[in-house]
Amino acid sequence: MAQVVSVSFDVVAEEQVPWVAHPRFADIQMKPMLTSAANPLASVSRVRVPPGGVIGWHQHASQTETVYVLAGDSTLTLGATPVPFSAGQIVAIPPTVRHTLINDGAEPVELLCFFTPPIA
């Protein structure tokens, strides 16, 4: 006979999560949609970059950052390689790879960012 397991979870509605200032990058807004408290294996944030906005050079010591572009046009530079990065594209950035993103379009860039393991 199968054992019944009780599972607790929360479904997060985006409209219930407020936009907050990114802790490191000026003019960048984010919504921490899923944190390590809800999922010990990943964290997920929605990120908004205004026209002309920049997510400055940085790297993650132990996280792979997977980024999906929901809207807009930008340039993503991984190491020394700049690439166009637009709506409908996705990339996995391995740990320790330095990267930056510039919104060089006329509209805000909207990103969905997954971190594995989660950002603390």
Burial 36-64 (b: 16+ CB within 10 A, else e): eeeeeebbbbbbbbeeebbbeeeebeebe
Domain harbouring 42, CATH code: 2.60.120.10
Domain that residue 89 falls in = 27-116
pLDDT one-digit tens code per residue, 63-110 = 999 999 999 999 999 999 999 999 999 999 999 999 999 999 999 999
Q: Does the residue 31 lie in any domain?
A: yes
Tally of structural domains, the chain: 1
Q: Could you give phi then psi for residue 29, rounded to 5 degrees?
A: -110, 150
Q: Does the residue 41 lie in any domain?
A: yes
pLDDT one-digit tens code per residue, 24-63 = 999 999 999 999 988 999 999 999 999 999 999 999 999 9
Q: pTM to 2 decimals?
A: 0.91
3-state secondary structure of 16: helix
Query: Which residues, in sequence order, are CB contacts of 77 under 8 Å at separation 6+?
Result: 83, 99, 100, 101, 102
Q: Does the residue 85 lie in any domain?
A: yes
